[in-house]
Amino acid sequence: MTSAVVQFFIVLTTALLFIAINGLDAWLTSELHFIPGAHWISLSAGICVLATLLLGPTGVIGMLVAYLLRNFIRLELIDMPHAVLEAVAQSIGPFLVYFVADRAFGLQASLANLTSKRLLLLIVACSAVCPPLHSLSMRVPVNSWDTLNHCLLMFAGNLAGALILTYMLKAISAALP
């Protein structure tokens, strides 16, 4: 297979995995829903972090496609420009963290050189970068108390979800031969 075909399948698989985890996330954490777009636990944030770290720019494109699909499947956003802006905002945050981490740590495709401390740092950074970008894309006034609460809640939910998913995958991979 050519590189373009492989990348297409990676993007498609990433997007479908995100949509599946997002649906599972919505079902499992429906009682933990605080306000639209903000949950106490967001497992799909873990997919976003891992896809970006493991797959780099291809993972980011997969996440962009995933967020666009999610927006249109759920019909959360009515107008096309708003749906695209929100998808770009949600997928560009982890890429910025990936870009800085790649320069600082020289990330390898297998993440073999990523220590536990560095992984935790990247999870915290992704969890912190995404909420303000999401708020900006939703045209929320930046200086409002609600925006700060929304960002803090999204940060906590993203962090909890990413940590749960990361350590769940770590436990599964440790159990495999």
The domain segmentation of the chain, as residue ranges, is 3-175
> 95: closest CA among 136, 68, 69, 133?
133
For residue range 143-159, list pLDDT tens digits in order.
Answer: 566 777 778 888 998 89
Res 166 pLDDT > 70? yes
> 114: closest CA among 56, 155, 175, 62?
56
Is residue 48 within 8 Å of residue 94, measured between CB atoms?
yes
Res 34 pLDDT > 90? no
Separation of first and last alpha carbons in the chain:
28
Mean pLDDT of 2-6: 87
Q: Looking at residue 9, what is its pLDDT?
A: 93
Number of helices and strands (H, E) in the chain?
Answer: 6, 2
Burial of 117 (0-12, 13-18, 19+ CB in 10 A): exposed
For residue range 60-71, list pLDDT tens digits in order.
Answer: 999 999 988 888
Helix or strand holding residue 49 (H, E):
helix 43-55
Is residue 35 within 8 Å of residue 148, measured between CB atoms?
no
For residue range 113-124, list pLDDT tens digits in order.
Answer: 778 888 899 899
Mean pLDDT of 2-25: 89
User: Per the structure block, which two tokens stand in for 25?
Assistant: 């996330």
3-175 maps to CATH 1.10.1760: yes
Rg (CA), the chain: 16
DSSP 52-63: HHHHTHHHHHHH
Mean pLDDT of 47-61: 86
Query: Which of 150 and 55 is assigned the larger pLDDT?
Result: 55
